[in-house]
Each structure stands twice: as C-alpha cells, then as structure tokens.
Chain A
C-alpha cells in the first residue's frame, strides 16, 4: 500500500516568487492536512481539506492557500515568498475528519528554501 507522497522533495525559490506543493494521500483517504515545520516555531497547522472543502485553517496569512481535487490529491500554494517561509512542509492524510479516531499518516515532506 503506497504511503503519502509529497512532491517535490526539495525546492529552492527566490523571494517574491510563488510555489505550489503537491500531496497524494493514501488511496481511499479523503482528508488531507498540511503542517509547516520550522526550527523556531516547530510544527504548525496550516489547513485541512476533506471532500474538496477546507474544514479548518490555521493562523497563517492569506499568501498561504490550498485546494483539494476530486481524487483527494491536494496542493498548497504560497505566493510572494518571504525568507521566513523556508520550512519543511508536511502533508498528512486520513480516512475521515472531525476527530482523531481515524489516525493520520504523514508524508516525508517538501523542504522549501527561499533565498
């Protein structure tokens, strides 16, 4: 059974550019969540999607957005990149939403470096 796949694994972008990250959940999983991991702030929740609808959103500026497709694959986009956006972005998938009974499986992440 394939795990959660995140692409690309590594990315280098220049300040002011935008970037799109992709996440393919485990087959059959309908919920996808995104987290940002930095040395200073640790792991912070970005947003959660379930059945193509955003269910929850963390405390991030509007430059951070996401979407989910009908096949449950998800993308997140960051516009007007800042140096502080350099981080490991983790995606997690789950069968359902609204509680942790389903459990989450994390991908290996996309390492974004903004220069």
Chain B
C-alpha cells in the first residue's frame, strides 16, 4: 500500500541554522505530495505542496522538490527561527482519491 517515511525527531537546531527533514514515499500511480505543520494544541496547516515531478513547492522560506527518481520530497529551509518549532508531516494522495497518507511526523525544536 501507499506509505510515507520521514526522519525521526526531534531535530534540534539553533536559530539561523539550516534545516532538512527527509521524506520518502511509496505509492501506486502518480501521487501529489504535501508538507503539513502542526503547532502545539492546533490542527494541521498546509505548508506547501507539489503535484508533479520536479515541481518545487515553497512557502514562508520552506522549500521541497518532488523527486520521482528517488521518490523523495525533502523539506528544507535556509535559516530557521524559534517560531518554526513545530511538528512537520509529509503526506501524499494518489490521483482520484482525497485521502491523505501521512508520515509519522518530525518534531523540530529551534533554540535562540
């Protein structure tokens, strides 16, 4: 079945450090890929998405590129802030279905 694997956390960084959270997937068909963020006590917010190979999603300084050859969608940010501390989820959906398949989530902790 479809699945998403992302690196386990927590990832602990100092402010202004570079961030990479790895995400790989297994899916039938040609999935759309997403990154969601969850702040403490809140629901999920869509951070960025990509719907076809080589697409780059970007938002709030975060970027991820859909790599079909490596079935990956790694999340990157050049300079993290304390306010980026949250749990990040990689997810996919396959064509024709609205169901999201999520990874386990990666907690990011950014210290001043």
Contact = CB atoms under 8 A, between A and B. Distances in A.
B85 interface: no
Contacts of B97: 56, 98-99
A57 B100 CA distance: 12
B98 A106 contact: no
B69 interface: no
Q: Is the interface of B mostly helix, strand, loop or mixed?
A: loop
A108 B99 contact: no
A48 B98 contact: yes
Given A42-B103, A42-B105, A56 B98 contact: yes
A31 B34 CA distance: 19
Contacts of B89: 43
Q: How large is the interface on A (under 10, 10 to 19, 20 to 34, 35 or more residues)?
A: 20 to 34
B44 A106 contact: yes
Interface in B19-50: 32, 34, 36, 41-46, 49
A96 to B, nearest CB: 8
Given A42-B104, A100-B32, A100-B93, A108 B98 contact: no
B43 A31 contact: no
Contacts of A58: 99
B73 interface: no
A108 B100 contact: no
Contacts of A64: none
B67 to A, nearest CB: 19
A45 B104 CA distance: 13
A97 B95 CA distance: 11
11 contacts: A33-B98, A33-B100, A42-B105, A45-B100, A48-B98, A99-B95, A99-B96, A100-B98, A101-B51, A103-B49, A106-B36
